Amino acid sequence: MFIGNTKKDREEMLKTIGVNSFKDLVKQVPEKFLYPEFKLPQEGLDEMQTASAMRELAARNKQLKSFVGAGAYERYIPAALKALLSRGEFLTAYTPYQPEASQGILQTIYEYQSSMAALYEMDYGNASMYDGASSFAEAVRSAVRITGRKKVLIAQSVHPQYLQTLKTYFPPGEDYKFVQIPHKDGCLDLEKLEGLLDRETACAALQSPNFFGLAEDFSKVSALTKAKGALFVAAADPVSLALFTAPGAQGADFAVGEGQGLGLPLNYGGPYLGIFTCKKEYLRQMPGRLAGMTKDKNGKRGFVLTLQAREQHIRRDKASSNICSNEALCALGATIYLALLGPGGLKELAQANFDAAHAAAERLCSIKGVSLKFKGPFFNEFTLALPCAAKELRSRLIEKENIDPGLPLKDFYPELGETLLVCATETKTEKDIARLEKAVREATA
Amino acid sequence: MEDITTLDNRLSIEKSSPGRRALKFKGRLKHSAPPIPENLRRKTAPRLAELSEFDVVRHFTRLSKINFSLDSHFYPLGSCTMKYNPRVNEDIAALDGFTGLHPMAPDEAAQGTLECLYNLQTLLCELCGMEAITLQPAAGAHGEFAGLMAAKAYFAHKNQKDRVEVIVPDSAHGTNPASAAMLGFSSINIDSGPDGRVDLEVLKRHLGPKTAVVMLTIPNTLGIFESGIETISKMVHEAGALVYMDGANFNAMIGMIKPGELGVDIMHLNMHKTFSTPHGGGGPGAGAIAVKKYLDAYLPVPVIKKEGNRYCADFNRPLSIGKVKAFFGNTGVLLKAYAYLLMHSPRELGEISENAIINANYAKALLKDYYPSHSKDHCMHECVLAPSPEMMAKEITTLDVAKRLLDYGFHAPTIYFPHIAHEAIMIEPTETETRETVEEFASAMKKISAEALNNPQKLKDAPQTMPVKRLDEVQAARQPNLRW
């Protein structure tokens, strides 16, 4: 499939190469390794059969009315975004290593970096990482490298899979110390943070809105970390930042986030977008690619990949990270999405999320025995305390009502009891929320 | 390429006009919650462009046109495998049933996607001759990281924590030593032999009780097969270490050679290379790590399992290294790779390797009198050439050749890599190019060679037809301008 050369072409090419047969070309491969048996279907499908088989598989996924968020958010994806992103010129381009032939991609990266720096109120953003969790881990790695310290404080309210990823990013057996900062009513316990911070601490790694959906006040954190020579790493949902204080305004040294919510589909976990930003003093510690504006020899504006001496293809084992392929097309999607929204549209979107989640919370809390687990302000999801087993409620609603009411938190936080993390984004209507309320009411009765 | 030098190069923010808007959200759900408290409220709006929808469409369409892409240009980038990206893959991955699936959806709601992923795991294992696999990594380098981490966990479990060295040939991709270093291994760089292959004597000197892993790229970055692989694997295993194969060049082996039979213990695959998914201007890719069964337990979670007729994401693997990213891997990319494999029988997969190898050797043969090859052997899927001594005598560098190629409408090959080849020009046509395209490319390369001898300034001034002339990279690094 997809091969242009005909048998005749190949024969003539082999003649030009100066061999009698293809076998003569691969004499460097010991013969016994060539053409082993493959226990695979002996016939490939044609395009129509493939499309049909895959449509059938796609239909096997249940189309649920889902109220699950937990770090990945259902978003309406504008038609113009889809149209632009599917352009072959973007889709099939390579990393812009030849800048004169890649000005389009390079300028979009520059615009992406600018948008992220503006949104997070940080000095600089890079061209992207794999996802929010790996960005978070790389930011902590940067903090460890900069401070030369090995103790990392992580809020207990950080996404549990971010914590798991972070731990994987530090090889075992090298006395790194990960200490969890307990939460108080769902939010960071500032006194505990102060008590845990010491001269051994590389950074405090926090998240807002946190895993429970709560928006946190981190305004006092940077003074505390600075006093001990430690850094402040903050994770934040980019859409929430239209309404809530940005990490930069709270003094974060590194700010990261999951960019999926900027117009990318849920896609069962990927490809997503790792947002990575930092203060200017840490620019040369940044992992990943950077596009910069410069001039050509006639003085005309142009863009190049820059500060590449940080990267693996130049620095090899001394590089700031091993990252090579990133999530460029997803970053472009986020850039186009933000261009379509502008500051006004982004605020409207964030407000629509806030309103949907608060409307859902009010309705659900009108059910007997159902209440908010935590009192603090939240953005587009919240933790609900239930009068019954959360997992059973979820299975029942999925099976009977085609509704996924939210994520039970017991596996992650057993101490919270029967709770459900419920999310409503701009895609949820009054009717959807009424359906959810009715289903939960009946199931808990 | 059309004449685009007259198109404006303003940033979107420079086209912005206060109050201009594209997308609106009019739905308002009522509730009685208090407004966001003052201490949590953002004070100043982010500085983002304010544009109409038409502005946005035109802005990005224009940018798309001042860019080379595979759809519009031949991209003979060695090691990058720029092969055709079938459009049916895009259609399939965009099906609502796939794109709308939440990563925290329970297995019962995700049976379609899980079945695809399970089948992809099985197909890839069989193609590689390996026994277990994970699809978690988001890219090749991410796979190297996870694969080496699995090796580290394996040795820790066997109480061999003093295995702290990873041996990497000097021809390796930069990601190999970088991944090893991230995991706290010391990376031992070994010199290749004169034919570009691993020098067995040198390898022997470095192998020992401290060796954890030997990382090999097969075929290597010179496009040469590691003919002594059987001996190498035996030596490595006798030293108690593991063989890691960087699978970036699997496009030369698919359907023809099973890495597992070569003695490879761990390998990664790049979906965005061999398995035809698009590069998107630098990503997203998707990686996979395939291993022999003794390393299975250490793979990152989740792994997709089949129990009866039901597919599930298995997180319950106590020896696993853990998670390498949140949720599942790059599913949207993996689905495209699966669709691609469905369209190929084993024989057709073998034809991929065969045609990739023929095209590379054909390019090398057509250019042999103009650009000498680094290696005397036939190459596999890519060849490494250099400007001729006559060209170099005119002070022509590989960079000049690369820039001049852009004027002829060809993306430049990979240049100055591998580092061990002087003035390297690394050409990988891939199997999806026709002989005519390879011939046109060779003809442009020959013309450039003649220009280099008769009018070298033409190369020094190249490119002339791009939207910009050669760019000042020194200034870009000295005074970084990285945002508006």
Q: Which of residues 278-337 of B touch A (CB under 8 A)?
A: 278-286, 300, 321-333, 335
pLDDT in tens, B432-465: 999 999 999 999 999 999 999 999 999 999 999 9
pLDDT of residue A312: 85
pLDDT in tens, B389-412: 999 999 999 999 999 999 999 999
Determine the 3-state secondary structure of A352 from DSSP: helix
Closest C-alpha among B90, B85, B426, B133 to residue B269: B133
pLDDT in tens, A342-359: 999 999 999 999 999 999
Distance from CA of A146 to the nearest CA of B (A): 15
Report whether pLDDT(B131) > 70.
yes
Sequence-distant (≥ 6) Cβ neighbours of residue A157 within 8 angstroms: A183, A186, A187, A188, A207, A210, A211, A212, A214, A216
For residues B113 and B115, give the distance between their C-alpha atoms in angstroms, rounded to a whole number: 5
pLDDT of residue B7: 53
pLDDT of residue A318: 85
**Domain layout of chain A by residue ranges:** 65-70+343-444, 79-336
CATH number of A79-336: 3.40.640.10
Chain B residues whose CB is inside 8 A of the A17 CB are 358, 361-362, 364-365, 378
Contact B68 A93 (CB under 8 A): yes
pLDDT of residue A310: 85
E strands in A286-326: 291-295, 301-305
Q: Which residue type does B174 have?
A: G
Radius of gyration of chain A (CA): 25
Q: How confident is the model at residue B1 (pLDDT cuts 50, 70, 90)?
A: very low
Chain A residues whose CB is inside 8 A of the B166 CB are none
Among B68, B83, B328, pick the best mutation site for testing chain A contact (most A Cβ within 10 A).
Answer: B68
pTM, to two decimals: 0.97
Q: Which residue of A has its CA nearest to B364?
A: A17
Contact B332 A346 (CB under 8 A): no
Mean pLDDT of the region B196-219? 97
For residues A292 and A236, give the distance between their C-alpha atoms in angstroms, rounded to a whole number: 25
Contact A201, A233 (CB under 8 A): no
Report whether pLDDT(B308) > 90.
yes
Closest C-alpha among B261, B174, B153 to residue B217: B174
Report whether pLDDT(B6) > 60.
no
Mean pLDDT of the region A256-281? 98
Report whether pLDDT(A414) > 80.
yes
Q: How confident is the model at residue A62 (pLDDT cuts 50, 70, 90)?
A: very high
Mean pLDDT of the region B165-176? 94
CATH number of B353-466: 3.90.1150.10
pLDDT in tens, A357-403: 999 999 999 999 999 999 999 999 999 999 999 999 999 999 999 99
Mean pLDDT of the region B327-355? 97
Closest C-alpha among B46, B49, B47 to residue B17: B49
Percent of chain A at pLDDT above 70? 100
pLDDT of residue B3: 43
Mean pLDDT of the region B11-35? 94
CB pairs under 8 A between A and B: 690
pLDDT of residue B452: 98
Query: For A65-70+343-444, which CATH class?
Result: alpha beta
Q: Which residue of B has its CA nearest to A361?
A: B31
Report whether pLDDT(B298) > 90.
yes
Determine the 3-state secondary structure of A203 from DSSP: strand
CATH of B89-342, one of 1.20.140.10, 3.20.20.70, 3.90.1280.10, 3.40.640.10: 3.40.640.10
Same fold for the pair A65-70+343-444 and A79-336: no
User: Closest to B71 (Cβ–Cβ): which among A72, A88, A313?
Assistant: A88
**Domain layout of chain B by residue ranges:** 12-65, 89-342, 353-466
User: Closest to A343 (Cβ–Cβ): which among B48, B261, B352?
Assistant: B48
What rounded mean pLDDT belongs to chain B?
96
Mean pLDDT of the region B354-369? 98
Q: Which of residues 97-136 of B touch A (CB under 8 A)?
A: 97-106, 108-113, 115-116, 123, 126-127, 129
Report whether pLDDT(B5) > 70.
no
Residue B457 in contact with partner chain A when CB distance is under 8 A: no
pLDDT of residue A3: 97
Percent of chain B at pLDDT above 90? 97
A 10 A CB-CB count for B2 gives 7
Buried b / exposed e over A216-253, threshold 16 CB at 10 Å, is bbbeebbebbeebebbbbbbbbbbbbbbbbbbbbbbbb
